[in-house]
Chain A
Amino acid sequence: MSRRPFTPKVLTANLLREGDVVYLDATDAWVADLHRAELIEHEARAADRLAFAEAQSSRVVGAYLTDMKAGPNGPEPVHFREGFRATGPSNYPHGKQAGA
């Protein structure tokens, strides 16, 4: 059975204290803006980044890798769920869209 080829990903989580959605950038910093996240192109790198995030349990919670694609300003969501996480709910101007 053929294995599904690796697709580009971003490492995301929520801040432990505040709950805010954050992304891991290439310098090991947790950033609020999806466009500043590291777009992970290789499977081995993805495993390393996930291990790094899981070791950061005093800063973040619920870390996971999620599919993203390259866009003109940085990573962009492939799935609508991550689109909502990156912006905010559609019924109020809350979440990340509030500061945009």
Chain B
Amino acid sequence: MYHYDDFDRAFVAERNAQFRAQVERRLDGSLTEEEFKPLRLMNGVYLQLHAYMLRVAIPYGTISTPQMRVLAELAERWDKGYGHFTTRQNIQYNWPKLVDIPDMLDRLGDVGMHAIQTSGNTIRNVTADHFAGAARDEVADPRPYAELLRQWSTDHPEFQFLPRKFKIAVTGAPNDRAVTRAHDIGLVLRERNGEIGFEVLIGGGLGRTPMIGKTVRDFLPVADLLPYCEAIVSVYNRLGRRDNKYKARIKITVHETGIDEMRRQIEASFAELRPLFDDTAMAALDRIKAQFALPSFLNGPTEIDLSDPVLRSFVDTNVTPHKRDDHAIVTISLKAHGRTPGDASAEQMRVMADLAERYAYGELRISHEQNVILPHVRRGDLAALHAALGAVGLGTANVGLASDIIACPGMDYCALATARSIPVAQQIAMRIDEMGIEHDIGALKIKISGCINACGHHHVGHIGILGLDRAGVENYQITLGGDGTERAAIGERAGPGFAYDEIVPAVERLVLAYLDVREDAGETFLDAYRRLGPAPFKAALYPEEKRDAA
């Protein structure tokens, strides 16, 4: 993985020193909160419901074992012993004291981490396929390009005050695990005539007005990546609306301007910018690529004993084929039934770091689905790894199943939330587990957001749940048929919302209805929804309407 050079280290150290001085000036009254707020946000510090929150960037979800141990140290020294992994592959600490945050940032800087541009109207943490470098289906590892984009976008002088935040995702595989179609810029690596390039999508996004991204270039040569992205963001910076924050994302700009006119302006800007970019970036890319070299793989068996049903179940759900037959990609579920999705204790973080060193060549990834990945595990080590994970509550075999729920922090923590997400996720997972039908249900993505901003990606959940405040009472809307993959779709609202104590039974009725109507066990919930449409699912959600109509 990428390791900071002297420039990176000096940049982060200088930024941390600046922020330490800014905190001191805020505390001694030299800075007002109005002056300080944009400064703290530029360094990932929010004021949430109960306390401050620090959001730390994990670029493209790739993290080393020393870094994971420092995340554990932060959780123990300055927080409440845990961290929350987010849908941007970041980690959030929910209880830091403002006076401690400069020390936390310095400690992060020791291992090449920071919180810069994890907030504010800037280009945020660039995300990538969490199986990058290991996936059997990938054209190329997307992380070197994501790192190049990170370096380009960090502290970019033109892009610190965009109309609104800006999110970029990169995938190197045709099976889109990075939700590229729901990003401001989605980059999909393609191979054409032996050359690697990008399909470039713009204008995707979730939130209040969900949109699927549109292709603005179907094949962009790698050498043009930075000037083309600079052209996109420059056009957005110029055209993006600053009069209404709810219409300020590029998805609205694309919608109002039209993709053809956006393309024309982007290409015109690109023609001006391209000559200004010399070969420096490509030379940097070569140096970056060298740091993403695959580990020296050890040979091992391709077939393993799966007679233990518990191990078999884990392998069925949490293990994905690797580009090498004798290795596997292991997803560690942070979704044990009844636990908070995406949370890991300091102890669990340390164990994951230890196991990554023992079994996975020291590599870890964070997925946007709030799980942790060991990308390179010898198949012969799977049984020992599974046993070690189980000892610290990390052996749950539910990846991709109904209890592998994305949930934002919701009103338990977030100042913007309109309802809780976490307890809804906990109760759905517990109920599904009690019913003993989770593995029978099979692939099902439930995603929960505690407000219209959609941090829980509910629009692209097969079952999406949106928590709202209806006249001072929590109320939950259900959407159906969403999909965050290469077949991206925005879920359709099923009907009236449900009260807090009605939402879990409603989801239960949905999954039971699916089991009734599916053609066979091979037809997933989403396939059944696409075949049948919403009618049988709505009938399950609203049985009284069906009765009234009879």
Query: Chain A interface (Cβ within 8 Å of chain B)?
Result: 14, 16-21, 57-58, 61-62, 78-81, 84-85, 88-92, 94-95
Contact = CB atoms under 8 A, between A and B. Distances in A.
Closest 10 CB pairs of A and B: A89-B412, A19-B51, A19-B52, A91-B340, A91-B422, A58-B29, A18-B97, A95-B50, A90-B423, A17-B99
Nearest to B37: A61
A90 B98 CA distance: 24
A17 B97 contact: yes
B423 A57 contact: no
Interface of B: 26-29, 32-33, 47, 49-52, 80, 94-99, 340, 411-413, 420, 422-423, 426, 469, 472-474
Nearest to A89: B412
B98 A94 contact: no
Nearest to B99: A17
B423 A14 contact: no
Contacts of A19: 47, 50-52, 95-98
A86 B457 CA distance: 29
Given A89-B422, A94-B95, 10 more contacts: A17-B98, A19-B51, A21-B51, A57-B33, A79-B472, A85-B50, A89-B412, A91-B340, A91-B426, A95-B50
21 contacts: A16-B98, A17-B27, A18-B97, A18-B98, A18-B99, A19-B51, A19-B97, A20-B50, A57-B29, A57-B32, A61-B33, A62-B33, A81-B411, A84-B411, A84-B420, A89-B94, A90-B423, A91-B340, A91-B423, A94-B94, A94-B95
B49 A78 contact: no
Contact of A88 (B33, B50, B52, B422): B50
Contacts, number: 75
B244 to A, nearest CB: 23
> Which of B27, B28, B51, B473 is packed against the most chain A CB atoms within 10 Å?
B51
Contact of B47 (A57, A58, A62, A85): A62
Contacts of B473: 80
Nearest to B23: A17
A67 to B, nearest CB: 10
Q: Secondary structure at chain A's binding surface: helix, strand, loop or mixed?
A: loop
A17 B101 CA distance: 10
B472 A78 contact: yes
Contacts of B27: 16-17, 58
Nearest to A20: B51
A17 to B, nearest CB: 5
Contacts of B423: 90-91
Contacts of B411: 80-81, 84
A84 B32 CA distance: 28
Contacts of B420: 84, 90
A14 B51 contact: yes
Nearest to B29: A58
Contacts of B96: 19
Contacts of A62: 33, 47
B429 to A, nearest CB: 12
